[in-house]
């Protein structure tokens, strides 16, 4: 017999809750209650479902740390009332939000499952219903009276990924997300198959700590052949800059020209943290493997290991607000906090 769970469904906006404007053809948000009425199958679920909706549903392109804090606050306020949470979110920035909440919610012992869709829920061929229904089932899974999933996940097109390991990889296919460096936590077919050894192990003795303050004085600098000194100099000298996610080639390689290394070194000397992540969709950083990454390691560039850019960005936002000394910051950043890296 399936154990009942109490689930809070949090609606932030996104394609899943959109309809087409009859005059312009553009997608716009509609009433959340209407969204639920479009999914009569929810009544067949064994779980008790309550809902919370953003006052004004938003396109996820407008997502920012202020809204990360709102989501974290809703979970904090309702944490003791519910067994699990499902967050309906636009797919474009979903991996950023899932990564951010994984860091913001310390000592999590309950599931937070993000999902959305590529087509509106009222569309004839929509992927929204399956994503929504299965996300709720996953959020409600219990085993021996305890929640099966106790971390932030992202469910899309039959697979549940660790939230901070996921990236959006396709803007047109229903399989919009992937987790290239970590296997799916669960796969939905005729049965829900959970990969139990891959799940994060909770510590039930520790209380949930919610970190709502993030520092967004950071930027992503993606290298390309021909990027010039003048541009990099201007970017790295931005007033108030605290952190840089440096997207490099392959296993963490970059130009070894003196001017480039010197600009990075000057930045680090001003206590601006620079994290090295790969531009590749899979694999990670191995600074020192090639000569072109040895100098980066020597000047103190932080290794992002096999993190996604989304996780690297939100982890930096989280740690910058912890007021850590440079050596401590580097040490903690290079340590897996929420299963975001090997």
List the pLDDT tens digit at each of the 342 positions of the chain: 568 999 999 999 888 877 666 677 777 666 666 666 667 777 788 899 998 999 888 889 999 999 999 999 999 999 999 999 999 999 999 999 999 999 999 999 999 999 999 888 777 788 888 999 999 999 999 999 999 999 999 999 999 999 999 999 999 898 999 999 999 999 999 999 999 999 999 999 999 999 999 999 999 999 999 999 999 999 999 999 999 999 999 999 999 999 999 999 999 999 999 999 999 999 999 988 887 789 999 999 999 999 999 999 999 999 999 989 999 999 999 999 999 999
For 45-80, letters b (16+ CB in 10 Å) and e give: bebebeebbbeebbbbeebebebbbebbebbbeebe
Cα four-point dihedral sign 91, 9, 103, 210: positive
The one-character DSSP state at 202 is P
Measured between alpha carbons, how far is 214 from 199 in angstroms, rounded to an integer? 26
Q: What strands lie across the sheet with 6-11, from one edge to the other?
A: 48-53, 6-11, 84-88, 112-115, 152-156, 159-162, 186-188, 192-194
Secondary structure E strands in 91-162 = 105-106, 112-115, 142-143, 146-147, 152-156, 159-162
Residue 176 tokens read as 């919009």
Contact (CB, 8 A) for 156 and 149: no
In angstroms, what CA-CA distances link 322 with 54, 104, 211, 279, 326? 28, 12, 10, 27, 11
Please give the positions annotated as active site. Answer: 15
**Neighbour-count burial of 113, counting CB atoms closer than 10 A to its CB (0-12 exposed, 13-18 middle, 19+ buried):** buried
Measured between alpha carbons, how far is 130 from 39 in angstroms, rounded to an integer? 10
**Domains within the chain, CATH numbers bracketed:** 6-210 (3.40.50.1170), 218-333 (3.40.50.40)
Secondary structure E strands in the chain = 6-11, 18-20, 27-29, 48-53, 84-88, 105-106, 112-115, 142-143, 146-147, 152-156, 159-162, 167-168, 177-178, 186-188, 192-194, 209-210, 218-222, 243-248, 273-278, 302-303
The full length of the chain comes to 342
Measured between alpha carbons, how far is 268 from 262 in angstroms, rounded to an integer? 10
């Amino acid at each position: 017999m399936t154990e009942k769970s109490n689930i809070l469904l949090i609606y932030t906006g996104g394609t899943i809750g959109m309809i087409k404007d009859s005059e312009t053809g553009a997608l716009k948000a509609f009433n959340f209650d209407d969204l639920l009425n479009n999914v009569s199958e929810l009544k067949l679920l064994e779980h008790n479902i309550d809902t919370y909706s953003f006052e004004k549903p938003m396109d996820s392109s407008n997502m920012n740390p202020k809204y990360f804090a709102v989501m974290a606050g809703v979970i904090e306020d309702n944490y003791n009332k519910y067994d699990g949470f499902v967050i309906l979110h636009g797919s474009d920035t979903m991996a950023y939000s899932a990564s951010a909440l994984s860091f913001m919610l310390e000592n999590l012992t309950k599931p937070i499952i993000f999902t959305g869709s590529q087509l509106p829920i009222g569309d004839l061929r929509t992927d929204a219903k399956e994503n929504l229904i299965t996300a709720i089932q996953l959020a409600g899974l219990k085993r021996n009276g305890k929640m099966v999933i106790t971390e932030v996940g992202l469910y899309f097109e039959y697979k549940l990924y660790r939230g901070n390991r996921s990236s959006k990889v396709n803007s047109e296919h229903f399989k919009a997300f992937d987790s290239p460096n970590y296997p799916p936590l669960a796969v939905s077919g005729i049965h829900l198959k959970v990969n139990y050894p891959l799940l994060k192990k909770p510590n039930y003795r520790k209380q949930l700590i919610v970190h709502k303050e993030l520092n967004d004085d950071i930027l992503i600098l993606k290298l390309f052949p021909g990027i010039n000194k003048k541009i990099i100099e201007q970017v790295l000298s931005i007033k108030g800059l605290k952190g840089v996610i440096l997207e490099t080639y392959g296993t963490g390689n970059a130009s070894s020209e003196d001017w480039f290394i010197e600009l990075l070194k000057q930045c680090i000397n001003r206590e601006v943290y620079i994290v090295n992540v790969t531009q590749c969709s899979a694999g990670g950083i191995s600074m020192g493997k090639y000569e072109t990454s040895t100098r980066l390691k020597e000047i103190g560039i932080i290794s992002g290991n096999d993190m996604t850019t989304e996780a690297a960005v939100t982890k930096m936002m989280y740690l910058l607000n912890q007021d850590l000394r440079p050596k401590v910051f580097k040490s903690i950043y290079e340590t897996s906090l929420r299963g975001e890296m090997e």
